[in-house]
Copies of this chain bind each other. A is one copy, B any other.
Amino acid sequence: MHLIVVGGVAAGTKAAARARRVNRDIAITLYQDESEVSYTACGQPYYLSGLVPSREALIIRRASEFKVDGIEVHLRHRVLDLSTEERVIKVRDLDRNNLEVVPYDRLILATGARPVIPAVPGSHLDGIVTLRTMAELDRFRSALDRLRPKDAVIVGGGYIGLEVAESLHALGVTVTIVERLDRLFPRLDPEMGQRVHDYLIAQGVRVIVDDGMAEITENAGRVAAVVTASGRKLPAELVVLAIGIRPNVELAGQGGIALGPTGAIAVDPRMETKVKDVFAAGDCAESFHRLTRAPWWEPLGDIANLQGRVAGENAAGGNARFPGVLGTGIFKTFDLNVGLTGLSEATAREAGLTPIAAVISARDKARYYPGARELTLKLIAESVSGRLLGAQAVGHGAVDKMIDIAATALLGGLSCRDLENADLAYAPPFSPVLSPIIVAASTLSSKLS
Copies assembled: 2
In the complex, are the beta carbons of A369 and B302 less than 8 A apart?
no
In the complex, what distance in Å separates the CA atom of A434 from the CA atom of B366? 29
With A409-B411, A411-B414, A434-B306 in contact, do A426 and B301 touch (Cβ < 8 Å)?
A: yes
Contacts of A325 in B (CB 8 A): 423
Say yes or no: A366-B42 contact (C-beta < 8 A), given A404-B425, A409-B408.
yes
Expressed in whole angstroms, the minimum distance between the Cβ of A276 and any Cβ of chain B is 23
- Given A423-B325, A423-B326, A412:B407 Cβ within 8 A: no
Q: Which of A301, A366, A368, A369 has the most CB of B within 10 A?
A: A368
Measured in the bound complex, the distance between the Cα atoms of B428 and A163 in whole Å is 11
Determine whether A400 belongs to the interface, using a CB cutoff of 8 Å to chain B: yes
CA distance in complex: A328, B43 (Å): 34
Contacts of A305 in B (CB 8 A): 433-434
Kindly identify which residue among B368, B370, B438 contacts A58, using a CB–CB cutoff of 8 Å: B368
Q: For residues 111 through 159 of chain A, which have their beta carbon under 8 Å from a beta carbon of chain B? A: 159
Number of interface residues of A (CB under 8 A): 70
Can you report 22 residue pairs joining A to B where beta carbons are below 8 Å apart?
A40-B433, A42-B366, A43-B368, A43-B428, A46-B368, A46-B428, A300-B426, A302-B424, A302-B426, A302-B435, A326-B423, A337-B430, A399-B430, A400-B401, A401-B401, A404-B404, A404-B424, A404-B425, A407-B423, A408-B408, A408-B419, A411-B419
Binding site for B on A (CB under 8 A): 10, 40, 42-43, 46, 51-52, 57-58, 159, 163, 290, 298, 300-303, 305-306, 309-310, 322-323, 325-332, 337, 339, 341, 366, 368-370, 398-401, 403-405, 407-409, 411-414, 418-419, 421-431, 433-435, 438, 442
